[in-house]
Every structure is written in C-alpha cells, then in structure tokens.
Amino acid sequence: MEVKIIGAGPAGLYFSLLGKKLNPNYNFSLYERGGRSENIRLGYTITESLREKLFSIGEDITTKIFSQATKPWTIQEHHSKGKIYDGKSTFRLYGIERSVLVNALREAASRKGVRIYYEQRIDEEKAYQFSRECDLLVGADGANSVVRNIYSQNFREHTITGTTAYIWLANRDNLKHMKTVIKDYYGHIFIGVSYPIRGNNNCLIVECKSASLDVLGLSAMVNSDQTISEEGIRFLHDLYTDGGSKFRIRSSNSRWRNSKYVRTDRLFHDNIALIGEAAQTLKFNTGSGLILAFETAEALAQSIREESSSLEQSLSQYASLVHQELNIKWLASEHLRNGAERVLTRYNELDGRSIVAILSGLM
C-alpha cells in the first residue's frame, strides 16, 4: 500500500512509525512544510498515558525523549484575587519542548524507512492530486488542515469561533509545576498559564476576551508578519511581572489567535482520512491534544493492517474505534472553553475558589 501523509507533527509521525511497525511492506511518505529540524521553543504538558503509547514505538525513542523532559509534577498552583490556591491533579504531568518530541520522532521515522520530504507546503490542488496517486492520503496537517478543506462538506466540518483570544509564548523562570495567574487590567481579565518544559525554559499561554485586544491596542502591537512586537511583549511582561519575579517573556513566532475549534462528523472520505488536530481541535489546556493525536494515529495504523479486506472497511473501523473517545474529549473541551469564557466575562462576581474550580473543569 502507498500511504502519503501531510504534516510531520506528532500525529503524522506517530501514525507513520506505528503504521510501518505493523505493516512493514507498506510505503509511508510524509510531506512537511517546515524544515528538517523544528526550532520552536514552545512545549507541551504530557501525561503518563502518552509515555506508555510512546513505548509502543520503541524504548530507545521514549528514553531519549524523556531524558529531555522535566521532572513530573502533580501540583497546580492558582493565583486568583490576591490569593494562592494549591491544587493536586490525579495524574502526573511532564513538560517537554515540542522540538524535542518532534525531532526525535522524525529521526526515528527516517531510521525505520519512512520517507520525509521537508519544505513541502501542500496546497489543496496538490493534496487532491496526491489522493489520486496513492492508496491512502492522511491529513495530519493540524487545525487549519488543507486536506480537510478539500472535502469539508463530505467530512461534515463544524467550526466554533470562541469569544476569546490566546497567545503562546516562551518564558524563563524557575518553575517546577504548572501555575495559573489571573490578572485584572482595568477590568480586562487575562488568564496566564505557565508550565516548565526544559531547564529554566517554560511556556506561558495568555488568554483574554478577543475584544480586549482591540480596546487595549494589543491587536496593533504586532510586526508586519503579525507576530507580537516588542511593545506587545513589554505589555505582557509588565502585566505578569510581580516584584521579585524572574519572568522573561519571549516571542517564539508567537501571535495572538482568536480561539477556533473544529470537529468533523466523519473521519474519512473516499481514500482520505483525518487524524490529530485535522480531525478535531480541543481547548489547549485540556492536556489531551497530544493524546488525541496519538489515539487517532494508533487507531488508523491498526485499522489498515495488511489482513484487513477493503480500504473502506478499514477506514470505517478506524472511525468506529475513535468515535466515542472524540465525543468525550469534545464535551470536556467545550466545558473548559465555556469555563474560561465565564471567568473572563464574570470575574468580578466570582470568588477565587470558584474561579479555580471553573478553570479546572470542576464547576
């Protein structure tokens, strides 16, 4: 079988690695718009269950990746209305730089015989052409998937545009666990979530009402390529730097983005399947974006195993394997999305403890 995959992010890479392991005779080719080595200094929180999944593609790869991850934490610290609340999560989280994860998976995939073509930005026309040339085309090209766009009606795509905007930044601070800090800037509320990803490097995700960006002039504090300008960084730095804090916020190709969530009712059409964020985008702080990427990739790799009869049956099996899990994750994400909007809109009416409960998805 000839399999072409658009996007060498976590979903596409995990799918190709597992696919090749289960079907050594298939040819897997990956097309990635970026260069060979990712250098974005942003990162993820990852769970123990994801670590287990990584072991299924090789102990050496997992050991290599986790040797560069942070120590695990279970504490989540919330700063709200002048008080600090310590919460404990039921599972351990690790922080990891995206480049560490992606580069290790790319190296492993190349070693296992997956062909990866870099600097190949695939447009809709090319993706359509690919679909005619190969047995299976996989859209693993993230939230703004061009593969999904070709047949958005057949995939029955729904898009929800939220009322909030967010930015993902690099930061330096000696954080040991996740910390959420809420700031009230003349009635405009900012939810900042930071977590360590490597040494003293950490990430800061700031979310606010989209309208606040215009009112406070933040939409104009951008460079010509729309990345945040020095002035925009300074605003956030002043907002988040309390006396004594060693926050050093930096842009890593960071842009303010309006929150947008996409899901599809169907995960395949003809000989095209969607995995990862191309199939469904979740609220970023659910911690389950990567799990969804790996779960969909795993289910597709298993469904196309050599002994399966027709491609249509394999793809139907793929859809039924992940259908329920995608629904559950979508509902959880919706709950957190509504929670953040509630806190940003009704901050003054809520007490600190309720805010923590809402943002943690408990209320």
Ligand X SMILES: Cc1cc2nc3c(=O)[nH]c(=O)nc-3n(C[C@H](O)[C@H](O)[C@H](O)COP(=O)(O)OP(=O)(O)OC[C@H]3O[C@@H](n4cnc5c(N)ncnc54)[C@H](O)[C@@H]3O)c2cc1C
Could you list the residues that contact ligand X (CB under 6 A)? 6-12, 31-34, 44-45, 120-122, 140-142, 146, 166, 168, 205, 276-277, 284, 287-290, 293
DSSP state letters, 27-50: EEEEE-SS-SS-----EEEEEHHH
Q: Rounded to the nearest 10 degrees, what angle do helices 10-22 and 289-303 cross at? A: 30
Task: State how far the alpha carbon of 251 is from the alpha carbons of 42, 169, 189, 196, 237, in Å.
Answer: 10, 5, 21, 16, 11
What is the closest distance, in whole angstroms, from the C-beta atom of residue 2 to ligand X in the complex?
18
Comparing CB distances to ligand X, the nearer of 15 and 350 is: 15
What is the closest distance, in whole angstroms, from the C-beta atom of residue 243 to ligand X in the complex?
28
Cβ distance 15 to 136 under 8 Å? no
What is the closest distance, in whole angstroms, from the C-beta atom of residue 263 to ligand X in the complex?
13
Comparing CB distances to ligand X, the nearer of 65 and 293 is: 293
What is the closest distance, in whole angstroms, from the C-beta atom of residue 17 to ligand X in the complex?
13
What is the closest distance, in whole angstroms, from the C-beta atom of residue 195 to ligand X in the complex?
7
What is the closest distance, in whole angstroms, from the C-beta atom of residue 122 to ligand X in the complex?
4
Give the C-alpha separation, 363 to 355, whole Å. Answer: 9
Give the C-alpha separation, 127 to 28, whole Å. Answer: 15
Comparing CB distances to ligand X, the nearer of 247 and 261 is: 261
Q: Which residues pair with 30 in a beta bridge?
A: 5, 116
In 219-353, at which residue ranges do the beta strands (DSSP E only) sit? 248-250, 257-264, 268-269, 272-274
Query: Torsion angle, CA of 142/12/170/207, rounded to 10 degrees?
Result: 30
Give the C-alpha separation, 316 to 105, whole Å. Answer: 28
What is the closest distance, in whole angstroms, from the C-beta atom of residue 48 to ligand X in the complex?
13
Picking from 289, 271, 279, 276, the residue whose alpha carbon sits closest to that of residue 332 is 289
Comparing CB distances to ligand X, the nearer of 277 and 298 is: 277
Give the C-alpha separation, 116 to 66, whole Å. Answer: 24
Comparing CB distances to ligand X, the nearer of 12 and 232 is: 12
> Which region holds residue 3: left if phi is over 0, alpha if psi is between -120 and 50, else beta?
beta
Comparing CB distances to ligand X, the nearer of 275 and 304 is: 275
Comparing CB distances to ligand X, the nearer of 205 and 356 is: 205
What is the closest distance, in whole angstroms, from the C-beta atom of residue 97 to ligand X in the complex?
11
Three-state SS at 11? helix
Three-state SS at 102? helix
Per DSSP bridges, beta strands 136-139 and 157-172 are unpaired
What is the closest distance, in whole angstroms, from the C-beta atom of residue 348 to ligand X in the complex?
26
State phi, psi for 251 to the nearest 5 degrees.
-85, 140
Comparing CB distances to ligand X, the nearer of 287 and 343 is: 287
Q: Structure tokens of 193?
A: 């979530």
Comparing CB distances to ligand X, the nearer of 96 and 350 is: 96
